[in-house]
Structures are given as structure tokens and as C-alpha cells.
Amino acid sequence: MTKELPAPTLLSPELLDEAYEQRLLERIRAGDRTACAECIDLHSAGVYRLALRMVGDPHEAEDIVQETFLNAFRTIDSFEGRSSLSTWLYRIAYNAALMRLRKKQPLHVSIEPYVDEEETATTPVQLFDWCCLPEEDFQTAEARNELERAIGELPEPLRAVFVLRELEGLSTEETAQALDLSVSNVKVRLHRARLWLRERLSGYFTELAQRSQERN
Amino acid sequence: MDAAVSHHTCKELLVSLSDYLDGEAAEALCAEIERHLADCEDCRVVVDTLRKTILLYRTLPPPSPPQTIRARLLHALELDKDAP
């Protein structure tokens, strides 16, 4: 039997309430400014987190949040409700982040669907069992920084899938809608992101575990 | 010590690991994976460290937006002014 892993828990109850979202949308379309502020309160943190993980810079992430809501309220009439409002907002933010990344690295970032699936295929080479480390070693500021750095270094085609599915708690289908990918592509990318992170973190935790063994 | 997981069965198992850890693999596949893990130390390490990796990032505190972001956003969208 597999041990149960905790589910991502960032979704608030309002985000899951379809009737509430429908009323909110109607109010935004009717020009209700309080509804726009409510929408911002509900969704800006998630949009910010995605933007930050994508571009890695808090100021730029804030610009993307602003761009996202400006764009969303301006085009709210074109939102057909085939996805949830949050999925639509994530999609706008993702595209805005991608445009910025493309401007910075025009040769390396593509807005086209990911085609070279083998590019980031991950065959495990780190085979030291670092799970033996005491729990407090996983909870240090250094370990958390290492994990943050690793997430920031995830190959771009894997990063958005990882953030939406694993950190923001979207379903596979919602992630696929937000990023305009197929469900199977989301699953493949998520799996590769996990293996990539395991490999990347193994370097750090193996060294820590070996140092600890030498001391004892 | 570093070495690549390269055995054919190991590579096949690797493809299904996420489904297995997410509890989405079929019962027969789970049984097959568990049989393999009982005999393959390398794959057991990969499974355990992958599970630990998932646990670590799922319990990582999320980054907080700057406290001023709401006010700046409302101002930029002109939502902080009185309605006409």
C-alpha cells in the first residue's frame, strides 16, 4: 500500500463554490466595482504565486498580477465560463509571464506546446537514501531555500504544470485548461517535474546525510 | 553512490511511479510495483525519496504577496475611487 500524501491545500471554499462564482461574474459584468475588488481579494494571491514562480522576481510578478486583472476585467464579456474563473485568470497570468520570459530569452522559451518530451526526461542517477535524515534537517531555512531554488530551476515547460497542479492544487483537467495542454501531457510533465526535483534535491540531501554519517 | 536506474523493469516501473504514489494506479499494477520494490533496492530508494520530495514541497509555506499589492492593484484599476 502507498502511504497517503497530503493534498495541496491552497484552495479556499469560495473558489470551489460555483454558484458564488456565477454571481460574482454577473456582478463584474454589470460593472460592480465591489465585485472586482472581491475577485482580486479571492484570486490575486494565487495569480501572484504562479507569476512569481514563473519569473522569479517579486516586482515583475506584481506587474503580471496587475496586467492579469486589467486584461481580465477588460475582456470579461469574452469569458464563456467553460473553465472556472481562477483557471481563466491563471491562463492570462501564465501567458503574460511567458511573454516576459520570451522577451528575456527569445531562443529558449517557446509559447508553442511542448514538443521535445525527451529533453527533460529524467532517469534517476542519485540513489542514496537520504530519507534517514532527522526530520529537523528537512525543516531548516537552508533546506527550504534549497527547495525553493530547485522549484525555481525547474525547466520552464515543467514549471507551470508543477506550480498549478502541485502547489496551487488545481486538478489535472483544470491545469490542462489553464495551460492549453492535453490531460496526458499534464500528467507526463508533472511526473517529470517530480523526478527532476527528486534528482535535484538528492544532491543536497545526500551530502547532508553523508556529512551526518561521518560525524557519527 | 550514484548509478543510473537502467534495468528494463526499473524503467517500466519509473513511468508509473506518480500514479502509484498518487493512489491512482490499478491494484494489479500496485502489486507488481510492490513485488519489484521488495527485490530492487535502487527502485525502493527512488520511490522513498520521491515520496519524501513530494511531501516536502507540499508542506512548503507558500510565498506571500507583498502587503501593498492590494492597494496598488485597486489604484491601478481605479477601483479605489468613489463610483461616479
For CATH 1.10.10.10, list the domain ranges present in chain A. Answer: 130-215
> Using one digit for the tens of pLDDT, what is the confidence trace for B42-74?
999 999 999 999 999 999 999 999 988 999 999
Which of B21, B45, B69 has the CB atom closest to A62's CB atom?
A: B69
Contact B16, B25 (CB under 8 A): yes
Selection from B20, B52, B10, B16 nearest residue A204 by Cα: B52
Selection from A46, A57, A58 nearest residue A14 by Cα: A46
The ipTM estimated for the assembled molecules is 0.88
User: Per residue of chain A (216 residues), what is the pLDDT tens digit?
Assistant: 455 676 665 656 566 688 899 999 999 999 999 999 999 999 999 999 999 999 999 999 999 999 999 999 999 999 988 899 999 999 999 999 999 999 987 665 554 444 454 444 468 888 899 998 999 999 999 999 999 999 999 999 999 999 999 999 999 999 999 999 999 999 999 999 999 999 999 999 999 999 888 887
A13-104 CATH: 1.10.1740.10
Which of B4, B18, B20 has the CB atom closest to A190's CB atom?
A: B18
B24-47 average pLDDT score: 94
What gap in Å lies between CA B75 and CA A204, rounded to an integer?
Answer: 44
Residue A11 is predicted with a pLDDT of 58
User: Are B45 and A197 within 8 A, CB to CB?
Assistant: no
> Using one digit for the tens of pLDDT, what is the confidence trace for A61-96?
999 999 999 999 999 999 988 899 999 999 999 999
Residue B81 is predicted with a pLDDT of 76
Interface residue B67 vs chain A (CB under 8 A): no
User: Are A7 and B62 within 8 A, CB to CB?
Assistant: no
Residue B12 is predicted with a pLDDT of 86
For CATH 1.10.1740.10, list the domain ranges present in chain A. Answer: 13-104
What gap in Å lies between CA A2 and CA A191, rounded to an integer?
Answer: 17
Q: What residues 23-42 of chain B have any CB closer than 8 A to a CB of chain A?
A: 23, 30, 42
Interface residue A187 vs chain B (CB under 8 A): yes
Question: Which CATH entry fits the domain spanning A130-215: 1.20.140.10, 3.30.1120.130, 1.10.10.10, 1.10.730.10?
Answer: 1.10.10.10
Which of B42, B53, B76 has the CB atom closest to A198's CB atom?
A: B53
The CATH-assigned architecture of domain B8-76 is Orthogonal Bundle (1.10)
What gap in Å lies between CA A87 and CA A84, rounded to an integer?
Answer: 5
Residue A1 is predicted with a pLDDT of 47
Contact A169, A10 (CB under 8 A): yes
How many C-beta atoms surround the C-beta of residue A182 within 10 A? 10
Q: Domain boundaries in chain B?
A: 8-76
What gap in Å lies between CA B77 and CA A33, rounded to an integer?
Answer: 10
